[in-house]
Structure 1
Amino acid sequence: MQFWLSLCFAIGLAVIHLSSKNMKFLDVLPRSRFLSAAGGISVAYVFLHLLPELGVFQEHLQGEVENSAWSFLESHIYLVAMLGLVLFYGLEQMVKSSKRRNEKAKTQRSSAGVFWVHIGSFTLYNGVIGYLLVHEEYESHWGMLFFFIAMGVHFVTNDKGLRSTHKEDYDKYGQWLLTAAILIGWGIGALYEVNELIISFLVAFIVGGVVLNVLKEELPEERESSFSAFFTGLIAYSILLLL
């Protein structure tokens, strides 16, 4: 049952990527309250589910990697989450620098090389999420549903940001790659299972990426984001997770 449910959710996340450009109500200033609420939902999921799960992974790793090259991660799995955040922050800075260099050429897009590096990182990000739909240790079907909701609204936010950054290049190439990555990640998860150490790395990577990608969309002044909507989404989803 869980296998087929994960497939349905993977298809659902793919559909979200393909349909988000038709959500015209998101293209407004001040920032759509839905996007701010979506950011709150994603942050709630990270802090109330994924971060505690990293703690569980760390406990399981105690002693397992003691004599291996990964021994430094035995009690520092959060380093991976921090590196995930740093990676996506570095990518955002790279994109902004490229766009500033191209301003003299009267184009608002980043260079082709930067576009592919940026989209490539999000392709990996989506592939990991697709994989975790199969191999994340959900306590029940409700747990998988909560993961789907949190990642679904997060994808809408990411789509909005990437489309704004890369314009028509995103619609022509990016959204299709990100959509395919979810299904490919799910397919890999359906065929193969990696050890718990790798799973912990993947979850940590997602934690860092979600936190950075939410904050970069919510914090800039020009976004005119809604704190009340963000807070409402965070509190409402926190209550659901705690129940």
Structure 2
Amino acid sequence: MDISEIAITAAMASGFIAIHLMVRRLNFLDATPRSGWLSFAGGVAVSYVFLHVLPDIALHQREFADGMGVGAKEAESIIYSLTLAGLAVFYGLERAVKMSRGESRKAGEGDKMGNRVLYLHLVTYGTLNALIGYLLLHREDAGAWSLGLYFVALGLHFFTADFGMRQDHPEAYDRLGRWVISAAVLGGWVLGLVVDLSPVLVGCLFAFLAGGIILNVLKEELPEERQSYFMPFVVGVLLYAGLILAERHWV
């Protein structure tokens, strides 16, 4: 790992942190119908997962099989089960948030999460952010183009995820949440400097991350009350798909 890679990834980790800290000031996102920029960002994140993350996992299937000491089919089942697990874990978290907000409204305490669910939310998203910070230095697919695609896709994903978190509990997000998830990104990046996990484990973490991103995007885009925009979502999907395919075939 050379100095230039450390400097570039440090700048990218700082960019992620800036998004977490500043998203509350982007008042144009807080609108109904939903801002087209959030739908565009969601399309980019989904495109990145399906055309970059999942194909990379499939490409390294033999390496996973050898590292796990299992057959190719078993390794494939394990990896994609982790993707499903990532989706299921974050779905369970979102259900807990909605139930907690409902209980708070019934108790006359306003539309907010209870403290227990809030802390669970912070731990889960903090872990996800630490993983994203770590993967700045240890992705499956190395190279400048791959790193750039990763940064843009995950940065745009943070806009949608943070916006959703702030809607769930604005006061707690501004007071505590944004600092916790920002520290998690930095902590994950620092961990990447000093710890080199096995390629198999990195692939497994990447698979879990993919499931979490898919769920986070869909839960922000699909609910009827969001009044999301289809065309910006499609533009995000197609634009980023073009960049990913160009990176794979011509770079």
Task: Pick the TM interval, shorter chain.
Answer: over 0.9
The corresponding residue for 2:45 is 42
Shift of 1:98: 1.1
Which range is displaced more, 130-139 or 84-93? 130-139
The corresponding residue for 1:121 is 124
CA distance in 2, matches of 1:44, 1:149: 12
CA distance in 2, matches of 1:32, 1:95: 23
CA distance in 1, matches of 2:243, 2:68: 35
Counterpart of 1:75 in structure 2: which amino acid? E
Q: Does structure 1 residue 23 correspond to structure 2 residue 6?
A: no
CA distance in 2, matches of 1:47, 1:16: 24
Which range is displaced more, 32-41 or 137-146? 137-146
Q: Does structure 1 residue 83 correspond to structure 2 residue 85?
A: yes
Q: Does structure 1 residue 33 correspond to structure 2 residue 36?
A: yes
- TM-score normalized with structure 2 length: 0.92
Shift of 1:4: 1.7
CA distance in 2, matches of 1:172, 1:83: 30
Which range is displaced more, 98-107 or 21-30? 98-107
Identity of aligned residues (%): 39
Q: Deviations over 1:144-192 (max 9, x none)?
A: 1110000001001111000000120111110000001000000000111
CA distance in 1, matches of 2:74, 2:40: 34
CA distance in 2, matches of 1:238, 1:71: 28
CA distance in 1, matches of 2:59, 2:95: 33
> Does the Cα contact within 8 Å between 1:119 and 1:174 map onto a contact in 2?
yes
> Does the Cα contact within 8 Å between 1:130 and 1:184 map onto a contact in 2?
yes
The corresponding residue for 2:14 is 11
Structure 1 unaligned spans of 5+: none
Q: Does structure 1 residue 214 correspond to structure 2 residue 217?
A: yes
The corresponding residue for 1:235 is 238
CA distance in 1, matches of 2:115, 2:73: 37
CA distance in 1, matches of 2:191, 2:104: 38
Q: Deviations over 1:21-42 (max 9, x none)?
A: 1111101110000000000000
The corresponding residue for 2:106 is 104
CA distance in 2, matches of 1:3, 1:18: 22
> Does the Cα contact within 8 Å between 1:42 and 1:153 map onto a contact in 2?
yes
The corresponding residue for 2:249 is none
Shift of 1:112: 0.2
| SS at structure 1 position matched to 2:136 | helix
Shift of 1:99: 1.2
CA distance in 2, matches of 1:138, 1:54: 10
- TM-score normalized with structure 1 length: 0.95
| SS at structure 2 position matched to 1:142 | helix
CA distance in 2, matches of 1:134, 1:72: 29
Structure 2 unaligned spans of 5+: 247-251
> Does the Cα contact within 8 Å between 1:65 and 1:71 map onto a contact in 2?
no
The corresponding residue for 2:184 is 181
| SS at structure 2 position matched to 1:64 | helix
Counterpart of 1:93 in structure 2: which amino acid? R
Which range is displaced more, 96-105 or 135-144? 135-144
CA distance in 1, matches of 2:140, 2:153: 16
The corresponding residue for 1:132 is 135
Q: Structure 2 vs 1, CA of residues 139 and 172 (structure 1 numbering), >3 Å: closer, same or farther? A: same
Alignment RMSD (CA, Å): 1.6
Runs of 4+ in 1 over 3 A off after TM superposition: 70-73
Q: Deviations over 1:38-93 (max 9, x none)?
A: 000000100110001111232212233227xx999523111000000000000111
